[in-house]
A and B are shown apart, each in its own frame.
Chain A
Amino acid sequence: MLKLASAFLLVFLLAGSAAPQTAPGRDRVVLVITADAGDYVLAAGGAIAAMIEDGATAYLIRTTNDEKDSWELSPEETARRSSEESQQAAKILGMREVISLGYRAGELAAVSHTELRDRLMFYVRLYKPAVLFIPNPYAEYGEVLDRFYTGKAAEEAQRAAALENFQPPFSELGLAPHIVGEMYYYAQPFDPRRREPESSSTFVPQPKTVSISTVFEKKLRAAQALYTANYSLAMRIKERLDNTSRRLPLLDAVNRESVNQLVEINLRKLAQIAARDTPYELAEEFHYAGVEYQIPSSYLK
């Protein structure tokens, strides 16, 4: 019992020491983990851009190589273009660096969970973020399971990074245990239960909405930079329309202009959906776990 209490006290003290980092302002490090290049832009790009505008330094870890999602391009060419576009999107949002882990898109089910977790943990210890953005592995009805695998590994990496017995060799490199103060779980807003409070306010994240009205244009430009995947989406829509004998004048010519317009229509609606029942015009939805969610309320008292 004493040991348990001591452990909680240690967590509390460490979290307390991390608390100043979580306040808005300069020197805050934000680490963003994404499966595909576009996932985080669509679901969290605005909140990240706002933090960066507020003085934070942000890094992106992209677990896949995005080699699959394109229209009439080889996997190699798709991966090359997606990588370049991912760099552009991150730059528009103001991120400092993009780290690509290079796993083949759509194949994460075959990747060792522990390996992925430990690679993510490495960067958590290296960059010592105050804020972590991860794909929400509990979001339901998402079709891209790479998000699920990445989210599960990232969630574990956050915990493992704080405990010195995970990957002892890391300490040889000076990568000391690190507690991340804030976690944002992001996902596309089509989980019907996404806004339901979790069963407990301790240890589990709760729904949170963030206004992105002031940074929406930046998020939009970042999303539009991902042209390879966006063009593929536009062609799929056009194909579906053709198959059902319909015509959308916007897609009579599928080019950068029409594709960018599709992206804007999509993004604006997603932001409006997230803003529903809030005072905001445009928003993003998260499940959020701050320091207070990582310590039992009785200890906080």
Chain B
Amino acid sequence: MKVRRRSGSIAEPTGTFRLRPASCRLGLCAVVLLTTTVAARAPAEALPLAKIPRGKVFMVIEPHHDDHTTDYGMGGLIARLIDEGYSGYYVRASNDEKDGPHGYPLDDMINLKECLAATKILGIEQVFSLNWRNDYMDPIPLQELRGQLILLIRKYRPDVVLGHDPWAHYDRNPDHRKVARALAEAFWMAGQANVHPEHLRVGLQPHRVPYLFLKARVDYGRGHWPNVAVELTESQVRRKQKAYSAHRNVYAKPSTARSVRRQLADEKLLVPEIEGLSDQAAAVLFEEWHMNWISRKRGAENGVRYAEVYWFRDEFDHLPGLTEYIDRNATQQ
């Protein structure tokens, strides 16, 4: 994308175009950020590229309708898992009643509908809504939420679970913290027969999840420590963009596009790609550009074209000696 001067000359693609901070939300920032070239080079400390574990089923456990496809991860990885033959399930722990402009009950319903549409774009088979009250999850007994997750893990037996990093610092969203904590216990406790033994009465079997991919904002201090980069294809990034912008109730708002257009006009700049588009279509484009930009940025940081970064955990990572021993001595049957 190029930012042009209204006179017709092509402006240098730099970050010198300043937008008013008060209105600089995602779409506006995207315009600025996209004018900056993302260099395709690997920094000195690129993360190792993650191998997708062998498996059949993954489960995404998050509090909100849109957590599967934030700019700091998941949509790309979900698309890649689907491409590699996995089936996916999405567990939405809250009812999302707070997110949006329409008031509690309407936002709840609209967000769920958009969640179904977005996860379908990514290839997820089913969405389970636990419907805990959005942003009021703190008083929920952790064991109760954990018990629900354990039941779903035992029923669908995921090889991979995706979620928020429970150790991340400075995440001010209480639902992220609560659900991450519950996930952090559920993924291994589901494998212990003495946890909720009543499940075994109805045919469920213990199942410990072998692999975790955890995300958090990498710009929120030191708490989150990504240890792998997941390489993505253009097609996977495209699905991630589409899934993200499907959440029209909270993203891709026409008002954002109007604000950007006003500021571009003030600066006597134009972005050819949005000329002639409706405000809604322009706002969608901004969101998609942003997702593309962050995917390229993470890719450039890690020596590939597109990427997302995660804290990856194998269930036996805390047993480094045994892992080494198994790698050396195990044979294929």
Contact = CB atoms under 8 A, between A and B. Distances in A.
Interface string A231-275: 001001100110011111110000000000010011111101100
Given A240-B316, A247-B330, A247-B331, A109 B167 contact: no
**Interface centre among B222, B321, B329, by most A CB within 10 Å?**
B321
Nearest to B144: A110
Contacts of A34: none
B208 A192 contact: no
Interface in A144-191: 144-145, 188, 190
A241 B327 CA distance: 11
Given A67-B194, A145-B184, A265-B321, A244 B54 contact: yes
Contacts of B16: none
B320 to A, nearest CB: 5
A141 B311 contact: yes
Given A68-B189, A193-B222, A244-B54, A140 B167 contact: yes
Interface string B298-333: 000000000000010101111111101110011111
Interface residues of B, number: 41
A190 B189 contact: no
B159 to A, nearest CB: 9
A70 interface: yes
A110 B147 CA distance: 13
Interface in A115-152: 140-141, 143-145
Interface string B183-203: 011011101111101000000
Contacts of B210: 240
Contacts of B184: 143, 145
Contacts of B317: 190
A74 interface: yes
Given A245-B332, A248-B330, A269 B320 contact: yes
Contact of A68 (B141, B194, B330): B194
Contacts of B185: 106, 143-145
A140 to B, nearest CB: 4
Interface in B182-237: 184-185, 187-189, 191-195, 197, 208, 210, 222-223, 225, 227
A262 B320 CA distance: 12
A140 B169 CA distance: 11
B142 interface: yes
Nearest to B189: A106
Contact of B319 (A69, A107, A109, A266): A266
A68 B333 contact: no
A262 B322 contact: yes
Interface in A185-220: 188, 190, 192-193
Contact of A270 (B227, B311, B320): B320
Contacts of A265: 321-322, 325
A75 B227 contact: no
Contact of B326 (A69, A237, A272, A273): A237
B247 to A, nearest CB: 30
B326 A110 contact: no
A143 B214 CA distance: 13
B181 interface: yes
**Interface centre among A106, A141, A249, A270, by most B CB within 10 Å?**
A141
Given A78-B194, A241-B326, 12 more contacts: A68-B189, A106-B189, A141-B225, A141-B311, A141-B313, A190-B317, A233-B319, A246-B326, A248-B330, A248-B331, A249-B331, A265-B322
29 contacts: A68-B194, A69-B192, A70-B193, A70-B194, A74-B194, A75-B197, A106-B185, A106-B192, A110-B142, A141-B311, A141-B313, A145-B185, A192-B227, A193-B225, A245-B333, A246-B332, A247-B331, A247-B333, A248-B329, A248-B330, A248-B331, A249-B329, A265-B321, A265-B322, A266-B319, A266-B321, A270-B320, A270-B321, A273-B320
Interface of A: 67-70, 72-75, 78, 106-107, 109-110, 140-141, 143-145, 188, 190, 192-193, 233, 236-237, 240-241, 244-250, 262, 265-270, 272-273
